[in-house]
Amino acid sequence: MKNYELVLHQVEADLAAGRLRIGGRLPGERVLAEQLGISRPSVREAVRVLEAMGVVRTATGSGPEAGAVIVAEPVSPLTAVLRLHLATNHLPMADVVQTRLLLESWSAREAAERDLGAGELKVAAELLDRMDDAGLSPEEFHLLDAEFHVALSGLAGNVLIAAVMASLRSAIHGYVLAAVPNLLDWEATAMGLRAEHRAILAAVRGGEAERAADLVTAHIRGFYQAAQLAPFGGEGGAAEADDDRRADDQVE
């Protein structure tokens, strides 16, 4: 085990045991180095890793804000990691879409079952209103589109899924925008997407859980297919395989 990993394990143990809490402060470099029998540079390396992971926020100086403070900011680190792996093509676009289908259909179903009020739906509704602007460029439209899907997933009340969806925002926007040139009629597509978004939000507002989930699934798949992108999963994908199995079952 590398020396800096000793600090990571210690911080993890202290968080799990309640000895460290959000807003609390890590012990100083000298104290941690002496406690763990490692060098101060190793402690500094660990703190940099923790900061990159969104676990601590650091500030220099000697005032009350100085040092490493425990925070909980998972979205930015997750976003950075996902973007880097997408750039290596290690995470295929089709897998991103499949992940969206799983997370967003579940989120829409859960959101619809929560009996949400107008205040809780306000952000998603305002994003749809902004998307009605006919002067939006495809890039501007799809930035709002990605924000809407993130907001919709957040309505399920699951903090981890909300963080994952927020981290996927850049990937979603990237592949969707790249697909725009493949669309035969952008204006008609935008009009259809607006209508589908409205129907999804109406189903959530009306407590129609299964309808909301089905509409989200059809919405994501529909754009994917309209943009003439590769099949799910590269070789037909899980979705098509499930459809084929259901068809075989019906024939039998």
Residue 242's pLDDT band (boundaries 50, 70, 90)? very low
Residue 203 scores a pLDDT above 50: yes
C-alpha dihedral, 114 to 116 to 122 to 124, nearest 10°: 30
What letter does residue 182 receive in the DSSP assignment? G
Residue 204's pLDDT band (boundaries 50, 70, 90)? very high
Residue 134's pLDDT band (boundaries 50, 70, 90)? confident
Query: How confident is the model over 32-44, as a mean pLDDT?
Result: 94
Residue 64 scores a pLDDT above 60: no
Q: Are residues 52 and 117 in the same domain?
A: no
User: What's residue 63's pLDDT?
Assistant: 58
Residue 44 scores a pLDDT above 90: yes
Instruction: Give dist(CA 128, CA 141) in Å, integer.
Output: 10
| Number of domains within the chain | 2
**Residue that wins the pLDDT comparison between 169 and 122:** 122
Output the CA–CA distances (angstroms, integers) from residue 60 to 23, 40, 56, 100, 242, in the order listed: 16, 16, 13, 40, 55
What predicted TM-score, i.e. pTM, was given to this entire model?
0.72
What letter does residue 2 receive in the DSSP assignment? -
For residue 85, the domain's CATH number is 1.20.120.530
Q: Are residues 124 and 61 in the same domain?
A: no
Mean pLDDT over the full length of the chain: 84
198 phi/psi in degrees, rounded to 5: -60, -40
Q: Are residues 20 and 98 in the same domain?
A: no
Residue 229 scores a pLDDT above 90: no
∠ CA 1-30-12 to the nearest 5 degrees? Answer: 45
Residue 248 scores a pLDDT above 70: no
Residue range(s) defining the domain that contains residue 8 = 3-70
DSSP per-residue string spanning 17-72: HTSS-TT-BPPPHHHHHHHHT--HHHHHHHHHHHHHTTSEEEE-SSSTT-EEEE--
- Residue 108: inside a domain: yes
Q: Are residues 83 and 125 in the same domain?
A: yes
